[in-house]
A and B are shown apart, each in its own frame.
Chain A
Amino acid sequence: KAGVTQTPRYLIKTRGQQVTLSCSPISGHRSVSWYQQTPGQGLQFLFEYFSETQRNKGNFPGRFSGRQFSNSRSEMNVSTLELGDSALYLCASSIDSGRPYGYTFGSGTRLTVV
């Protein structure tokens, strides 16, 4: 079966712009989580959506937002981009939240802010 699909794979944006990243979870999965991965900080949790509701949120500024649609696809948006937002953004889907089995990551979107 198809895995977690993230688009686009690579993105270059200018400081001050905004960006929207997309994640299509595995069919049947209702939970989608977003992470930011940087060399210094590792994977940092952004937020989790379950059945269109935000269930958990990490410690990121309000410039980072997300949503989930009725088909479980999710988008995350970053407004007023800063150089420090350059990172690999990973999406993970699972049937339910907090269960380690069936928690599957996509290959990520590499965002570069110049």
Chain B
Amino acid sequence: QKEVEQDPGPLSVPEGAIVSLNCTYSNSAFQYFMWYRQYSRKGPELLMYTYSSGNKEDGRFTAQVDKSSKYISLFIRDSQPSDSATYLCAMSAGTGNQFYFGTGTSLTVIP
């Protein structure tokens, strides 16, 4: 079983829609939960990270972590064509530990 599972999509939504991206994981030691965005021919860039459980909001983006269910989500409100990219979740048990990535979900926002 993979450490992190992520639905690869692809996901296609109209501009202005609310997007929900999700990952599940198996390792209860994970403490840091991250979302990266990767545009074509670019490296991933960090969008948001949360420590332990709870919600975190940054503009149109909201990250949620439910450690009891081993489930994390990223919500994008009022989606824009510029949000079209691959979104990767990543997790770490903490300082000194490696990151584990999901395979990524490809998102297209149609104008």
Which A residues have a C-beta under 8 Å from some C-beta of B?
A: 4, 33, 35, 40-45, 48, 55-56, 58, 90, 92, 96-101, 103-108
Contacts and interface: CB of A to CB of B under 8 A. Distances in A.
Interface in B68-111: 88, 90, 92-104
Given A43-B101, A45-B98, A58-B98, A101 B45 contact: no
A52 to B, nearest CB: 16
Given A48-B98, A98-B97, A105 B32 contact: no
Contacts of A104: 45-46
B49 interface: yes
B65 interface: no
Name the residue among A4, A43, A44 with the largest chain B CB count within 10 angstroms: A43
B41 interface: yes
5 contacts: A40-B103, A44-B101, A98-B96, A98-B98, A105-B36
Interface residues of B, number: 26
B97 A42 contact: no
Contacts of A107: 41-43
A107 B41 CA distance: 7
Contact of A100 (B34, B42, B101, B102): B34
Contacts of B94: 98
A71 to B, nearest CB: 21
Contacts of B6: 42
A100 B98 contact: no
Interface in B9-38: 32, 34, 36
B98 A33 contact: yes
A76 to B, nearest CB: 15
A41 B103 contact: yes
Contact of B46 (A44, A100, A106): A100
B95 A99 contact: yes
A106 B95 contact: no
Nearest to A57: B98
